A and B are shown apart, each in its own frame.
Chain A
Amino acid sequence: MTTNILTPTTVCCSHCGDVCPPDPPMELEKAFCCEGCKTVYLLLSEHDLSQYYLLEEKPGISQKRSTQRENFAFLDLADIREQLIDFQDKNRIHIRLSLPQIHCTSCIWLLENLQRLHAGVQSCRVDFLKREAQIVISEDTISLRELAELLDRIGYPPIFRLDDLGEKQGKKGKQTLIYQLAVAGFCFGNIMLLSFPEYLGLTAEAGLSFGHFFSWLNLLLILPVLLYSSSPFFRSAWLGLREKHLNIDFPISLGIVVLFAQSLADILLQSGPGYLDSLAGLVFFLLVGKWFQQKTYDQLAFDRDYSAYFPIAATRLLEDGEEQVAVSKITSGDRLFIHHQEVIPCDAILRKGNAEIDYRFVSGESEPTTKYPGDLLYAGGRQMGGAIEIEVRKAVSQSYLTQLWNHESFQQEKGNAVQALADRLSQWFTPLILGIAVVSGIVWWWFTDISQAIRVMTAVLIVACPCGIALSAPVVLGSATRILGRMGCYLRDSGILENMATLNQIVFDKTGTLTHLDHKSEVKWIGKFLTDDKSIIQALAAQSLHPISKAIRMGAPRGPEARYVTEIKGMGLSGWVADKHVRIGKWIFIGGDHAHQRPGTWVSIDGKILGEIQIRDHYRPGMQETISLLGQQYELALLSGDQDRERQYLTAVFPPDSSLCFSQSPADKLQFIQEAQARGKRLMMIGDGLNDAGALSQSDVGMSITDQSGSFSPACDVILDGKQFSQIPAILRFSQGSIQLVRAAFLISSLYNIVGISIAIQGWLSPLLAAILMPLSSISVVIFSLSSSWLLGKKHFRSANNQLQE
């Protein structure tokens, strides 16, 4: 965003708030920064939608785009249309569109009043956090393409990516847990109520009939808990058993079954009220823990692959014209027309046009590559130099880039160390408990009778439930996940924390990770001090699309016009500004001495060489301190797809024994990770582009950095907001602390187990005692976990300034 110093005479656009040029488009005595903004303003006031401007200050999105309007012609293709719409009845179509330009209240208001702009729109409902809109249109009045064009005209163009096609999975799993939790909670509360008279000894007075009636009611209420709410535990234990493996759900399931059986026996034989209140409470708290751990971020996607980045359709050239074709139908030999700023969908050969391909996202090269007719262009690059014609060599799925996704590292599931810890615990826990139960049963049988022995055995099995252990990890990790989420660090699932806590090496990507992924660079001038000449140079640079030129004119106000401008590829830019002949480019081009070659970009005015321009990548603020902090605890490495221009600078920044590798292909990065893991290292890879996908998937923790929520990030375990880059050391220390808290909570729940078992083997476990002890252990573990992780968060992320609003 350009910062403009506002003087009293500065005029701002009435639509988007940007500074207006000296002679702005005017209408109704309001000024606009461009014709586009003026058009939107008029369109809205025509349809009585001026409230758009009342809800927020200058809510409009700047329409100053040099590119043509988005091409939605592919929406007329029947097969693409079929795959995009959610639902169709009679003539109405339901579709969910992704509109990343939604950013404020006015946007929501305008979009939800879309029917006022066009009668064909029946309704539109916005989901702000997901930046989506659910729209219903009647097809005979407006077509899908027209809808997209309408949205584009008011500044909210829908984005279609390859992964929008195909099935959309539902979110049923999360809902089932909520239903099970609701049933368990309902039954828990009611059973406790019905058990109260028993606790207070009232049923003895009122006669057996009441006590008995309530017990039968309890039996009725426990059935849904047993059959519906407990099913996740039974299923998991059964699956584990089939693999000949005792996981933590096995002792839980055992405890549930024994509790129920003992209670059933007691009630039928009228020898007691049973333990149904403890059973319902147990299931309820365990499900709460499960739900708490399940924090997901619906507006982020952790499993994106190339299809989330590629467009749906491309323009194919025919003998006598052009047509839109779905990207999946493109075959080798097709000729495609790629517009400015479009992504190239497949490996192809350049046939016509000026190709300046930006591979930032694909290979990490920070400067666009100039390509000439006959050169091979790789899929995934973005064309920056105008329109070109290409001839396809390989279909989308076989391109160099997408081959990466066939690698086996994408097929494997990453190990979750905390789950493993809990499972390992249950390996010896279950036999131990069974052993204690049997031994105490035998001892009691020796001294008294069999019924008392059985009672003691079941008491041991009931109270020795690992529910405390099964709760401590989910609650601590769920709490930690939420705290990290508020810091802009989003985890795919809580188990990643254990992996983050046990790292010993961190690998960085350069472009987009250590640097900002925009076209800003640091421009350093080496030469004579410039006064007026600076604006002259910037005026010439304004005529070129080359990133160096863009960097030169960054932040410059409008200056004099440049005329007779010529740009020679690979050499430089020359033109006349204010009657001076200005040249920017290579040493020879600007008039330098042929005998003494000098690299870099130089500037000369009227033949006099003024100095050199050095462009350096714009590194994230605080990068140096972050790297040195991390270097104290971890081994570091840099794997960059870019050339090694920055090697000297980065060698100074990174600790002495770090590996710095440049010009890495995606396969090279993957190989580095694999070799390090073979040497026993546990790695975190931090990257942001498609070329990091393999490395991110193979490493123990894959972290993806993003500057814009809603923009593409490759498949990873953690998504970090770019603004929080300097928090990485604190985040890692926090995860280490969280794992220690899990161990502490394990310990507390073990204490309960010891106390409970000692009570049980002495035969003192009455239903009342069990009803107190078990919920108490669960609640105290939950309270301990929540408060200690909250304190830990306060300790590591001290200032409130760090918190993001999202």
Chain B
Amino acid sequence: MSALFFLVFLGLVVAGGFLLAFFWAMKSGQYQDSYTPSVRILFDDTSSTTDQDAHETTTA
């Protein structure tokens, strides 16, 4: 039963970690703009072909 003391305390520490993670996410500013990311994820990454060619020629 005494394990409960320890477990409850540990649980609070883990939960506190999540709270800190929340602060960190807020600070990163990702919530300032909630619309544009929804558009951005739908873009194809077409740059790979041209960049890859350039990369290959330089490393060859």
B23-47 toward A: CB 8 Å interface, digit per residue (1/0)? 1001000001101100110111011
Is the CB of B10 closer than 8 A to any CB of chain A?
no
- Find out whether the CB atom of B44 lies under 8 angstroms from the CB atom of A179: no
- Find out whether the CB atom of B26 lies under 8 angstroms from the CB atom of A178: yes
A240-253 toward B: CB 8 Å interface, digit per residue (1/0)? 00000000000000
A67-106 toward B: CB 8 Å interface, digit per residue (1/0)? 0000000000000000000000000000000000000010
Complex Cα spacing A658 to B38, Å = 50
* CB-defined contacts of B32 to chain A, threshold 8 Å: 127, 171
Complex Cα spacing A194 to B12, Å = 11
Is the CB of A217 closer than 8 A to any CB of chain B?
yes
**A170 CB, min distance to chain B CBs, angstroms:** 11
| Chain B 2-56 residues near chain A, CB threshold 8 A | 4-5, 8-9, 12, 15-16, 19, 22-23, 26, 32-33, 35-36, 39-40, 42-44, 46-47, 50
- Find out whether the CB atom of B8 lies under 8 angstroms from the CB atom of A127: no
* CB-defined contacts of A677 to chain B, threshold 8 Å: none
Is the CB of A792 closer than 8 A to any CB of chain B?
no
- Find out whether the CB atom of B35 lies under 8 angstroms from the CB atom of A128: yes
Closest A-chain residue to B49, C-beta based? Answer: A48
Complex Cα spacing A213 to B5, Å = 8
- Find out whether the CB atom of A116 lies under 8 angstroms from the CB atom of B15: no
- Find out whether the CB atom of B40 lies under 8 angstroms from the CB atom of A186: no
- Find out whether the CB atom of A127 lies under 8 angstroms from the CB atom of B47: no
Complex Cα spacing A112 to B42, Å = 13
Complex Cα spacing A116 to B46, Å = 12
- Find out whether the CB atom of A51 lies under 8 angstroms from the CB atom of B46: yes
| Chain A 169-225 residues near chain B, CB threshold 8 A | 171, 175, 178-179, 182-183, 186, 190, 194, 206, 210, 213-214, 217, 221
* CB-defined contacts of B15 to chain A, threshold 8 Å: 186, 190
- Find out whether the CB atom of B33 lies under 8 angstroms from the CB atom of A127: yes
Is the CB of A437 closer than 8 A to any CB of chain B?
no
Is the CB of A774 closer than 8 A to any CB of chain B?
no
**B14 CB, min distance to chain A CBs, angstroms:** 11
- Find out whether the CB atom of B26 lies under 8 angstroms from the CB atom of A179: yes
Closest B-chain residue to A213, C-beta based? Answer: B5
* CB-defined contacts of A178 to chain B, threshold 8 Å: 26
Complex Cα spacing A248 to B39, Å = 44
Complex Cα spacing A129 to B34, Å = 9
Number of interface residues of A (CB under 8 A): 30
Q: Contacts A48-B50, A179-B26 given: A190-B36 contact, CB under 8 Å?
A: no
Is the CB of A109 closer than 8 A to any CB of chain B?
yes
A6-18 toward B: CB 8 Å interface, digit per residue (1/0)? 0000000000000
* CB-defined contacts of B39 to chain A, threshold 8 Å: 105, 108, 128
- Find out whether the CB atom of A128 lies under 8 angstroms from the CB atom of B5: no
* CB-defined contacts of A171 to chain B, threshold 8 Å: 32
Is the CB of A287 closer than 8 A to any CB of chain B?
no
- Find out whether the CB atom of A179 lies under 8 angstroms from the CB atom of B23: yes
* CB-defined contacts of A182 to chain B, threshold 8 Å: 19, 22-23
- Find out whether the CB atom of A129 lies under 8 angstroms from the CB atom of B23: no
**B58 CB, min distance to chain A CBs, angstroms:** 15
Q: Contacts A179-B26, A182-B22, A186-B19 given: A129-B43 contact, CB under 8 Å?
A: no
- Find out whether the CB atom of B43 lies under 8 angstroms from the CB atom of A109: yes
- Find out whether the CB atom of B12 lies under 8 angstroms from the CB atom of A217: yes
* CB-defined contacts of A175 to chain B, threshold 8 Å: 26
Is the CB of A396 closer than 8 A to any CB of chain B?
no
Complex Cα spacing A175 to B19, Å = 15
- Find out whether the CB atom of B33 lies under 8 angstroms from the CB atom of A129: yes
Complex Cα spacing A48 to B50, Å = 9
Complex Cα spacing A478 to B15, Å = 31
| Chain A 103-138 residues near chain B, CB threshold 8 A | 105, 108-109, 112-113, 116, 125-130
- Find out whether the CB atom of A127 lies under 8 angstroms from the CB atom of B4: no
- Find out whether the CB atom of B44 lies under 8 angstroms from the CB atom of A51: yes
* CB-defined contacts of A206 to chain B, threshold 8 Å: 1
Complex Cα spacing A210 to B47, Å = 62
Q: Which of A48, A112, A210, A214 contacts B40 (CB 8 A)?
A: A112
**B18 CB, min distance to chain A CBs, angstroms:** 8
Closest A-chain residue to B4, C-beta based? Answer: A210
* CB-defined contacts of A125 to chain B, threshold 8 Å: 36
Complex Cα spacing A509 to B42, Å = 45
Complex Cα spacing A248 to B52, Å = 65
* CB-defined contacts of B22 to chain A, threshold 8 Å: 182
* CB-defined contacts of A194 to chain B, threshold 8 Å: 8
Closest B-chain residue to A128, C-beta based? Answer: B36
Complex Cα spacing A183 to B22, Å = 10
Complex Cα spacing A109 to B43, Å = 7
**A207 CB, min distance to chain B CBs, angstroms:** 9
* CB-defined contacts of A113 to chain B, threshold 8 Å: 47
* A105, A116, A128 — most chain B CB neighbours (10 Å): A128
Closest A-chain residue to B46, C-beta based? Answer: A51
- Find out whether the CB atom of B26 lies under 8 angstroms from the CB atom of A127: no
Q: Which of B12, B16, B26, B40 contacts A108 (CB 8 A)?
A: B40
* CB-defined contacts of A116 to chain B, threshold 8 Å: 47
Given contacts A171-B32, A194-B8, A213-B8, 11 further A-B contacts (CB under 8 A): A105-B39, A108-B40, A112-B40, A126-B36, A127-B36, A128-B36, A130-B33, A179-B23, A186-B19, A190-B12, A190-B15
A-B contact pairs, 18 of them (CB 8 A): A48-B46, A55-B43, A112-B40, A113-B47, A127-B32, A127-B33, A128-B35, A128-B36, A128-B39, A130-B33, A178-B26, A179-B26, A182-B19, A182-B23, A183-B19, A214-B8, A217-B8, A221-B12
Where the two chains meet, the residues of A that have a C-beta atom closer than 8 Å to any C-beta of B are 48, 51, 55, 105, 108-109, 112-113, 116, 125-130, 171, 175, 178-179, 182-183, 186, 190, 194, 206, 210, 213-214, 217, 221
Return the 7 tightest CB-CB contacts between A and B, nearest first.
Answer: A128-B36, A127-B33, A186-B19, A129-B35, A128-B35, A108-B39, A105-B39
Where the two chains meet, the residues of B that have a C-beta atom closer than 8 Å to any C-beta of A are 1, 4-5, 8-9, 12, 15-16, 19, 22-23, 26, 32-33, 35-36, 39-40, 42-44, 46-47, 50
